[in-house]
Amino acid sequence: MEEARRLDKECWICEACGMQFAPSPNPPPECHICTDHRQFVPRGGQKWTKQEQLKQRGYRNMYQKHEANLFGIATVPKVAIGQRAFLLQTPNGNLLCDCITFLDDATIDIINGLGGIRAIAISHPHFYSTNAQWSAAFGNVPVYMHEKDKQWAGFEHGNVKYWSGESLHLWDDITLVHLGGHFAGGSIVHWASGADAKGVIVSGDILQVGGDRKCVSIMRSFPNFIPIAPSHARRIGAIMETLEYDRLYGGFFELEIDTGAKKIVRDSLQRYVEWIHKDDPNA
């Protein structure tokens, strides 16, 4: 906990994307996440904050129980991108799926009351946020990131565990699955016993749930509207076919597919490929 308190004061956070950087007396010259073509620097320019300043500004985290053993966590008012994280409870320890920027004592107490955190798994760099501080606050737990995204780490602390290959079984029935797409290391969580043993996917926005909750999409950049090549869609679709699941949770509140998710993912990716290849000028 003392390490987490130190990071409150010594680490700069990008206000646009929520990424926390390694301790330094002055903020970084730029945020490499925001200057990348997949994200953006706000019109008003690059701005920085610290965790202690966020606490003084009155932010708080909210919680939603989505189903047995799965809780969503997000910050209000919205901080940075505004994604949610998930606390996934299992008999042999809890996994934090993705991460959010704001962390306060109430959140630490609530999560400890639910069994704490055994590890953190992050889908892609846009959701790295303050993972070093979360790890420190819960006993220096490992933070799993795919090695193909190693170059994007803003704070390569000692608890980061880079993994490689197409999947990584963590414990019980939790597996990290590499999809790529949005980022080279983009990954999802497969929880086999979720949704009454029909299977759950926690996708971040590697698979982005549509506003109608009847489709998903994949993009190189969502805010800048850059698509992904059809070959990536086919590859991602082939990987998803190997998994058993019925429910899918996206990276933001109210974006989830309660049932029939596997067919929806299959149909959405097929439609994506068809429209990318469509050459009718009147379509």
Note whether 168 and 176 are within 8 A (CB): yes
Number of domains in the chain: 1
Query: Taking all residues of the chain, what is their mean pLDDT, rounded to a whole number?
Result: 94
| pLDDT beneath 50, residues of the chain | 283
Q: What percent of the chain has pLDDT over 90?
A: 91
Residue 60: the pLDDT is: 95
Structural domain includes residue 255: yes
At residue 39, the pLDDT reads 95
Q: What is the pLDDT of residue 239?
A: 97
pLDDT in tens, 2-24: 787 888 889 999 999 999 999 99
With beta carbons less than 8 A apart as the criterion, state whether 129 and 99 touch.
Answer: yes
- Rounded to whole angstroms, the Cα distance separating 88 from 25 reads 36
> Quick one: pLDDT at residue 41?
95
Q: Look up tokens 């090549």; give the residue.
A: 229
Position 115 in a domain? yes
Looking at residue 82, its pLDDT comes to 94
Residue 283 pLDDT: 46
Question: HSE of 15 in the Cβ direction (CA atoms, 13 Å)?
Answer: 12
Query: What confidence score (pLDDT) does residue 164 get?
Result: 96
List residues bridging with 49 in a β-sheet.
Answer: 13
β-strands 119-121, 143-146: how paired?
Answer: parallel
pLDDT at 105: 94
Q: Residue 210 corresponds to which amino acid?
A: G
Residue 59 maps to a domain? yes
Contact 83, 251 (CB under 8 A): yes
Instruction: With respect to residue 283, please indicate whether it lies within any of the assigned structural domains.
Output: no
**Non-local CB neighbours of 57 within 8 Å, separated by 6+ positions:** none
Residue-wise pLDDT tens digits, 61-76:
999 999 999 999 999 9
The reported pLDDT for the residue numbered 5 is 81
Would you state the torsion angle of the CA atoms of residues 267, 126, 5, 157, taken in this order, to the nearest 10 degrees? 100
57 is a domain residue: yes
| Residue 176 lies inside a defined structural domain of this protein | yes
Structural domain for 248, as ranges: 2-277
Q: Is residue 282 part of a domain?
A: no
CATH code at position 75: 3.60.15.10
